A and B are shown apart, each in its own frame.
Chain A
Amino acid sequence: MKIEFETFVLPNGLTVILHVDRGSPLVAVNLWYHVGSKDEAPGRTGFAHLFEHLMFMGSKHAPYPSFDAIMESWGGHNNGTTSNDRTNYYEIGPRNLLETFLWLEADRLATLAEVITEEELEKQRKVVLNERRQSYENRPYGRTELRIPEIMYPEAHPYHWPTIGSQADLEAASVDDVRSFFERFYRPSNASLCIAGDFDTAEARRLVDKYFGWQAAREAPRPPAPAPAVLDADRAETVGDRVQLTRLRLAWHSPALFAPGDADLDIAAHTLGGGKSSRLYKSLVFEKRIAQDVFAYQSSQRLGSLFHVGATAKPERDPAEVARAVDDELARLAGEGPTAAEVDRARNTHLADFYKSLDHLQTRADLLNHYQYLIGDPDGVDRDVARYEAATPASVRDAFAAVLAKHRLALTTVPDANAPAPEAQGEEAS
């Protein structure tokens, strides 16, 4: 499958990608800033994500709450997401909104810090603290998720803290922090803009130039380049949480996104824990009936990935028995490798899911920006797919055996109706 696009760079460094699809009278705008929680200053964890919220709190010519109000009054809608690596913002709506979307995005890139106030920061701080509670603290196994990066990455590594940040750091964030973060990272040269949908490319070029072209060229900030993280010993920890069942989680360091072995590990993960045909499902859930669920995934990121495996013990079974059964399957895959049929199934499933996601306009726009950020070229579909086409039982076995040979983290979440708040736990452990 080919995604047709054209691309150009404004003199100020903004990369622009245009993808026309006239199937529906819709247009999507998708803007990536190459800043994420990896770029946060010490004592300000969670700031990149908090900042993303502030991007909706009004700019000089579209004061709060115009951003959402203007957009929604014409039928558009929007959101943003923040990861370790990047922040994206997107809008979608009827095609007559293209110019409005571009004006709103351009105005906040140009002027956000001029108008941000203490009151607006305070409101979004509360919203984000609620998000932290809803997504982690009040969700089964959520607090375990927060512990994983803290253990896997040393304090100096930019993946050491979770993207949502700590409550104390979120509470410490100031308007001055907002201004300096904005000045440093929100620059045309640190972004790429994709427009997808029902529009005319000549008109889109004119509009992009009109709204972004006048903005000053400033050098892109240098991304952090930490030494690769390693665990120098196996680590084990137990976390109490408001859950019914004990869950075991294992994590290893693994090759970065697009690095050799990354796609092989997606296939290894699928072979281990991807659905009802997977080895862990077959052994632990289907045959031995000792686990309620199993999972495995390669969580791919720019500066290094983590390979995760997990199983939730049936209430009447001994978690140690579950742990042994998991280890048996891990050792077997690292020793024998997957069968050719297993590699085929994993590849077919992965590629079918990939194509399914591309049926949606906004996903295509996001993917073009993803490739632009990752390999400096939106034209990444063929290269990406080729990684999976090239995988063999031997390459998957070798990539997986290399991961398994490293030290690992074993986190056990146990039922504890009176578990302390995650914040206190984090401090205890550090």
Chain B
Amino acid sequence: MSARVPPPEHMTRAPSVGPLPHLEPTRPKRFVLSNGLEVTAERRAVAPLVAVNIMFRSGSDADRELAGLGSSTADMLDEGAGARGPLKMAEDLEQLGADLWLGCGRDGSQLSLQVPRKTFEEALALAADVLLRPRLDADDWARVKHDRLTALQQRRDQAEAVAGLVSDRVLYGDAHPYGRSSEGFERTVERIGIDDVRRYHATYYRPNNAALVVAGDFDEEKLPAQLEAAIGAWKPGDLPAPVPATPLPSGGNGRTMPRLVIVDRPKAPQSVVRIVAPGTDRLSPDRPALSMLNAILGGSFTSRLNFNLREQKGYTYGAGSSFSFLRRPGSFAARAAVFTEVTAAAVTEFLVELRAVRERPFTDEERTKARAMLLDRVAEGLATSGGIAANFAELALYGLPLDEPERFIAALERVTADDLLRLAQKYVDPDGSCITIVGDRAAIEPSLRAIGLPAPELRDADGERLPG
């Protein structure tokens, strides 16, 4: 057998790339049930499955002082409902091959159901029990509460989770609904009683606070009657006004270096670094341009942050950044887990990259790349039933129209290099940011001071301040 042979001439250069394909709009049908619930439905039959998302416009932002209440409520809903106790509910869902999931985010709570076509109607009836007729039994809450308290205790060992919740707490402050962990803290979950859970459910799990999306291999003619039979009797309720947003603790205040917060993790082999600054909200006209900015800065493998910290320096397995666009202004966050011994050097490179986007305009190539990547993400997000259901549920949460994906793509075309520079100067503010590091304090503090960072604020794994 021969060895490798020399490549033919056509191997020596990249093939030409034709024009980007046109993305056909996904235009689901819209109708309203007799109780006012808005339904969005998109049929596609790649796999014999149906995906349903029911989104409620209240999340942990409605927890108030009982941090973790919305998340605890979501957790309790499938612990027995209608005629079924907790174990029977789990058994029957499995018998149907149904995957039922409930969760609570910052701005919304959500039920997600994925089920084979042939058991869709039966699974829908169980999901309706879970939403309309949960048992919310005191003994079950005692058990689930204990599990949740233990899980919160375990969270202390999860450096990434700790970095996330501590940096949010520092950025937003304790009075802001986003400053509190969605899962809560041991001290707040301890105080949640079953009556609080029942009240959260009775108040917020209402059709006039919800939107339902169905995608996949369902029967279009039968669907309205199927939904009407399952949840038509669900009654609207009075909704309290949303918790007002307190203003974010102001940014730089003329500071020339960021704040530094350390959560000590003695002998940790890596430092988990997270740099946060105030961002903007979901309806902001800046969102398309900020998505492009982020794709270039830290939202892709070839982004500046990953290329510098991973590919050039070898400090990390991956570095990146993101904006969270929420009902109230969210955050900008840059992040990486780095070797303990290069922590200060990694922070320096983060600051170099964050400052660079404020000082020099992005190139045309970078903007072309960002547009192509975001177009692909939209296309991939709408390429599965689960993706369609989740995407349109998110649009419903923020009251956005069905053609939002095309509007977003069209808006990308209009973004100029000047827009990106202006927005970088507005939102990417390293000197006004807060750097949270979960790592070995003794090993990293001297070098962090040596690069000019201020004395660290010390916090525990729940974000409580500790004496310096």
- Contacting pair B17 A133 (CB below 8 A): no
Residues of the B chain whose Cβ atoms lie less than 8 Å from the Cβ of A100: 14-15, 17
Q: Which of A70, A219, A352 has the most CB of B within 10 A?
A: A352
- When each residue 1-28 of chain B gets 1 if its CB lies under 8 Å from chain A and 0 otherwise, what string results? 1111101101111111111111110000
Partner of A26, one of B22, B372, B379: B379
Q: Is the CB of B3 within 8 A of A72?
A: no
Contacts between the two chains (Cβ within 8 Å), count: 241
Compute how far the CA of A217 lies from the CA of B272 in the bound complex, rounded to whole angstroms.
47
Tell me the B146-176 residues at the A interface (CB within 8 Å): 146-147, 150-151, 153-154, 156-159
A127 touches B384 (CB 8 A): no
Checking B16, B87, B265, B383 against A276 with a beta-carbon cut-off of 8 angstroms, the contacting residue is B87
**Alpha-carbon distance A219/B382, docked complex (angstroms):** 42
Known: A72-B301, A277-B94, A358-B47. A138 touches B1 (CB 8 A): no
B11–A106 touching, CB < 8 Å: yes
A138 proximity list for chain B (CB < 8 A): 159, 268-270, 272, 337
Do A94 and B372 touch (CB < 8 A)?
Answer: yes
Give A126-161 as 1s and 0s: 1 = Cβ < 8 Å from B's Cβ atoms: 110111011101111000000000000000000000
Known: A23-B44, A23-B46, A359-B384. A285 touches B3 (CB 8 A): no
Does B97 interact with chain A (Cβ within 8 Å)?
Answer: yes
Q: Is A215 an interface residue (CB 8 A)?
A: yes
Given A72-B369, A219-B1, answer yes or no on A126-B15 (Cβ-Cβ < 8 Å). Answer: no
- CB neighbours (8 Å) of A348 from chain B are 94-97
Of the candidate stretches B124-132, B200-208, B242-250, B308-316, the one touching chain A is B308-316
Q: Given the complex, which residues of A lie within 8 Å of B87, measured CB to CB?
A: 276-277, 282, 286
Contact A75 B375 (CB under 8 A): yes
CB of A352 within 8 A of CB of B115, answer yes
Which A residues are in CB contact (< 8 Å) with B116? 351-352, 355
Q: Confirm or deny: B179 has a beta carbon within 8 angstroms of a beta carbon on chain A.
A: no
Partner of B97, one of A25, A352, A418: A352
Asked if residues B316 and A130 are in contact (CB atoms below 8 Å), the reply is: yes
Provide the residues of chain B in CB contact with A418, threshold 8 Å.
Answer: 266-267
Contact of B15 among A103, A217, A277, A421 (CB under 8 A): A103
B150 contacts across to A, CB distance below 8 A: 245, 292, 314-315
Q: Which residues of B contact A76 (CB under 8 A)?
A: 376
Does A332 make an interface contact (CB < 8 A)?
no
Q: Is A122 an interface residue when CB atoms closer than 8 A count as contact?
A: yes
Q: Is the CB of B46 within 8 A of A359?
A: yes
Closest CB in chain B relative to A198 CB, distance in Å: 8
Is A214 located at the chain interface by the 8 A CB criterion? yes
Please determine whether A292 and B301 come into contact, CB atoms closer than 8 angstroms: no
Residues in A89-139 with C-beta less than 8 Å from chain B: 92-97, 99-100, 103, 106-107, 110-111, 122-127, 129-131, 133-135, 137-139
Q: Give every chain B residue within 8 A of A96 (Cβ-Cβ).
A: 17-21
Contact B151 A292 (CB under 8 A): yes
Q: Which residues of the partner chain A approach B14 to less than 8 Å between Cβ atoms?
A: 61-62, 66, 70, 100, 103
Instruction: Tally chain B residues at the interface, Cβ within 8 Å.
Output: 88
Contact A292 B143 (CB under 8 A): no
Chain B residues numbered 335-350 whose CB sits less than 8 Å from any CB in chain A: 337-339
**Please, what's the 1-or-0 string for A265-308, where 1 marks a CB less than 8 Å from any CB in chain B?**
00000000001110000100110010010000000000000000
Nearest-Cβ distance from residue B339 to partner chain A, whole angstroms: 6
Residue-by-residue, is B246-269 near A (CB-CB < 8 Å gives 1, otherwise 0)? 000000000000000000011111
Say yes or no for B365: interface residue by CB 8 A criterion. Answer: yes
Given contacts A94-B376, A138-B159, A138-B269, contact A216 B302 (CB under 8 A): no
Which residues on B sit within 8 Å (CB–CB) of A124? 314
Query: Which of B98, B317, B375 has a CB less than 8 Å from the CB of A94?
Result: B375
| Contact partners of A24 in chain B: CB under 8 A | 379-380, 382-383
In chain A, what residue has the closest Cβ to B89? A276
Interface assignment of A235: CB less than 8 Å from any CB of chain B: no
1/0 contact trace for B22-51 toward A, CB 8 Å? Answer: 111000000000000000000010111100
- What chain B residues lie within 8 Å of A285 (beta carbons)? 147
User: Can you show 20 pairs from A to B with CB atoms below 8 A apart?
Assistant: A24-B379, A25-B379, A68-B302, A69-B302, A73-B369, A73-B372, A75-B369, A75-B375, A100-B17, A103-B15, A126-B314, A126-B339, A138-B337, A214-B5, A218-B3, A289-B146, A349-B97, A352-B99, A356-B114, A359-B47
Known: A97-B17, A349-B94. 11 other contacts (CB 8 A): A26-B379, A77-B376, A94-B372, A100-B15, A130-B317, A138-B272, A215-B5, A341-B91, A348-B97, A352-B98, A355-B48
User: Which are the 6 A-B pairs with shortest beta-carbon distances?
Assistant: A126-B314, A75-B372, A352-B97, A25-B21, A276-B90, A75-B376
Q: Chain B: residues with CB nearer than 8 A to chain A?
A: 1-5, 7-8, 10-24, 44, 46-49, 86-87, 89-91, 94-99, 114-116, 143, 146-147, 150-151, 153-154, 156-159, 265-270, 272, 300-302, 307, 310-312, 314-317, 337-339, 365, 368-369, 371-373, 375-376, 379-380, 382-386
